[in-house]
């Protein structure tokens, strides 16, 4: 199957954010650096798969990071109702990716066992490691597990014909990227395996890291999985909105590749 892929932006954070929040050991650490927040929509025939759920307004208030758009509204603008989403690939359990699991109560979740173990185990005793997680989101994943609605993929797995997940270490313990067969070739939704183009293409570590070596090896894995380097789509880069064609308000079509050259390639 060939899939159509869209990035839907639900938030942006610019004020007070600098390159030191995006890159370790950077020469221009004080330069402002904005971050975008996306969910990704995969469609083929009558199948719809959502990659990550974003987070809701309440989580935004709790973290002082307001969203611009409820993730459900982002989907409804693309003609997708909550009930249409039967499968959610959860790339990892950080608040900005799993903070909307409760918004899709009927969906089956696709997760790596290593992520569930990490988010519910002794590492979460440390403030520094726990910070990107919110207990209620992790509990929602556990509740879904007990409802028989979690599918675990160990390492590599297939969600549908042409949609695969691959575990990449470094940023969290059980992060998975999503590899999708498209008109342009194998497209890789990196999620937080590379937040920005610069992380993967310049080999720069993101500061939220549990294993630096694994993160760097992950950059090689992304390159190996994508049919071309410009088919690696970073999880949080505002450049995505500039490089890919806009197909609606806050929606960019990814599956035909970028319409401009990716800087730094």
Binding site for Zn ion (CB under 5 A): 94, 96, 192
Nearer to Zn ion, 192 or 237 (CB): 192
Angstrom distances, CA of residue 25 to CA of 144, 213, 215? 40, 15, 15
Angstrom distances, CA of residue 108 to CA of 42, 85, 233? 15, 9, 24
Phi, psi (deg, nearest 5) at residue 232? -90, 120
Q: Cβ of residue 188: shortest distance to Zn ion, in angstroms?
A: 16
β-pairing verdict for 108-111 and 87-89: parallel
Q: Cβ of residue 148: shortest distance to Zn ion, in angstroms?
A: 27
Q: Cβ of residue 174: shortest distance to Zn ion, in angstroms?
A: 11
Question: Residue number with the shortest CB distance to Zn ion?
Answer: 94
Q: Cβ of residue 206: shortest distance to Zn ion, in angstroms?
A: 9
Tokens encoding 260: 């401009």
Angstrom distances, CA of residue 163 to CA of 16, 153, 188? 37, 13, 10
Nearer to Zn ion, 72 or 195 (CB): 195
Nearer to Zn ion, 192 or 230 (CB): 192
Nearer to Zn ion, 133 or 252 (CB): 133
Nearer to Zn ion, 103 or 175 (CB): 175
Q: Cβ of residue 2: shortest distance to Zn ion, in angstroms?
A: 27
Nearer to Zn ion, 94 or 166 (CB): 94
Q: Cβ of residue 177: shortest distance to Zn ion, in angstroms?
A: 12
Tokens encoding 262: 């990716």
Nearer to Zn ion, 41 or 168 (CB): 168
Q: Cβ of residue 193: shortest distance to Zn ion, in angstroms?
A: 9
């Amino acid at each position: 199957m060939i899939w159509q892929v869209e990035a839907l932006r639900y938030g942006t954070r610019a004020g007070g954010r600098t390159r030191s929040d995006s890159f370790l050991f950077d020469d221009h650490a004080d330069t402002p650096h904005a971050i975008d927040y996306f969910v990704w929509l995969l469609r083929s025939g009558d199948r719809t798969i959502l990659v990550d759920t974003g987070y809701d307004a309440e989580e935004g208030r709790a973290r002082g990071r307001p969203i611009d758009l409820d993730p459900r509204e982002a989907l409804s603008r693309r003609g997708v109702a909550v009930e249409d989403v039967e499968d959610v690939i959860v790339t990892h359990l950080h608040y900005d990716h799993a903070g909307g699991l409760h918004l899709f109560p009927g969906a089956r979740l696709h997760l790596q066992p290593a992520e569930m173990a990490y988010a519910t185990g002794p590492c979460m005793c440390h403030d520094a490691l726990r910070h990107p997680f919110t207990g209620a989101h992790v509990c929602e994943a556990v509740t879904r597990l007990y409802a028989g609605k979690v599918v675990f993929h160990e390492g590599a797995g297939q969600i549908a014909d042409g949609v695969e997940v691959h575990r990449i270490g470094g940023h969290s313990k059980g992060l998975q990227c999503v590899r999708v067969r498209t008109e342009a070739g194998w497209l890789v939704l990196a999620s937080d395996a590379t937040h920005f183009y610069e992380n993967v293409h310049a080999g720069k570590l993101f500061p939220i890291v549990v294993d630096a070596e694994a993160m760097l090896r992950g950059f090689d894995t992304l390159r190996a999985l994508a049919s071309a380097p410009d088919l690696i789509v970073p999880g949080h880069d505002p450049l995505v909105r500039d490089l890919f064609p806009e197909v609606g308000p806050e929606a960019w079509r990814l599956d035909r590749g970028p319409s401009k050259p990716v800087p730094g390639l």
